[in-house]
């Protein structure tokens, strides 16, 4: 546990990354379906 500040940072960024990945995948599906 060399970086105790990493855990809150990861806890804050995990929902953001999940949201971005879900939005990105849905956008990719829409873009592929429109071609």
* DSSP secondary structure, 1-35, as one string: ---TTHHHHHHHHHHHHHHHHHHHHHHHHHHHHT-
Q: What is the pLDDT of residue 3?
A: 61
CA–CA dist 21, 31 (Å, integer): 15
| pTM assigned to the model | 0.55
Structure tokens at 29: 């599906």
Q: What is the pLDDT of residue 25?
A: 95
Residue 14 has a CB neighbour count (10 Å cut-off) of 10
Is 35's pLDDT higher than 90? no
Is 7's pLDDT higher than 90? no
């Amino acid at each position: 546990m060399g970086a105790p500040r990493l855990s809150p940072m990861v806890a804050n960024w995990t929902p953001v990354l999940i949201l971005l990945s879900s939005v990105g995948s849905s956008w990719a599906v829409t873009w592929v379906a429109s071609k």
